[in-house]
Amino acid sequence: MSWIAGVRRVPSPNCDDRPPGTAVSLLVLHSISLPRGKYGKDAGGGAIERLFTNRLDPAEHSSFADLAGLRVSAHFLIRRGGEPIQFVPVGARAWHAGTSCWRGRERCNDYSVGIELEGTDDSKFADAQYEALSVLVGELRQLLPLRAVAGHSDVAPGRKSDPGARFDWVRILGLLAHY
């Protein structure tokens, strides 16, 4: 229970072991774009991969200065066109939620899988992303005892706002009902 078959792998060093005996029961959804609001390879689309693998040059873009030395990752990224990329095996703890709490339980990274959607917290997501997310979560539900789905804003309120108000929760929950 590590890497998902058929998903492109870009291993990130920004992960470690989960606490022994920890069941992975939460899915945390995020949004990211680097630079903000720019998507695809022509707009520096590889910057997210470079961030998650500690190869992002802060001098590449003025908005990257705050990212210097940051060590973060997610288990998955779903690009605008629906391509999923896996950075961390699902059995490992990715560094995606930071200081966080879900239903009174702190340290969400310990017991969650983090999925980033290429986008911003104030933009619509692409149809292909919802479809890919639905398929990916269906596969994860076969491997893990997932019981809840939350946004980064739900586990880190006041600190994070993603995936944002434009994320279609009704749509994704409807798609997930088929699995």
Please give the radius of gyration of the chain, using alpha carbons only, rounded to the nearest integer. 15
Q: pLDDT of 23-58, one tens digit each? A: 999 999 999 999 998 887 655 568 999 999 999 999
Q: In the predicted model, what is the mean pLDDT of residues 124-145?
A: 95
Burial code (b: 16+ CB inside 10 Å, e: under 16) for 16-54 equals eebeeeeebebbbbbbbbbeeebbeeeebbebbbbbbee
Q: pLDDT of 5-16, one tens digit each? A: 999 999 999 999
Percentage, residues of the chain above pLDDT 70: 94
Q: What is the pLDDT of residue 65?
A: 93
44-to-25, 51, 61, 69, 78 alpha-carbon distances in Å:
34, 12, 9, 19, 16
Q: What is the pLDDT of residue 39?
A: 83
CATH architecture of 8-176: 3-Layer(aba) Sandwich (3.40)
| Sign of the alpha-carbon torsion through 100, 101, 105, 108 | negative
Q: What is the pTM of this model?
A: 0.95
Q: Is the pLDDT of residue 111 over 70?
A: yes
* 156 φ, ψ (degrees, to nearest 5): -140, 60
- 131 catalytic per annotation: no
Tokens of 111: 């017991």
Q: Is the pLDDT of residue 112 over 80?
A: yes
Cβ neighbours of residue 67 closer than 8 Å, sequence gap 6 or more: 34, 51, 56, 58
Q: What is the pLDDT of residue 40?
A: 72
Task: Please report, for the chain, the start and end positions of each structural domain, with discontinuous segments joined by +.
Answer: 8-176
Q: pLDDT of 124-133, one tens digit each? A: 999 999 999 9
Which residue among the candidates 83, 116, 118, 131 is catalytic per the annotation? 116
Please give the biggest Cα pair distance in the chain.
Answer: 45
105-119, 132-146, 164-178: lowest mean pLDDT where? 164-178
**Chain mean pLDDT for the chain:** 93
Q: In the predicted model, what is the mean pLDDT of residues 81-103?
A: 97
Band of pLDDT at residue 18, cut at 50, 70 and 90: very high
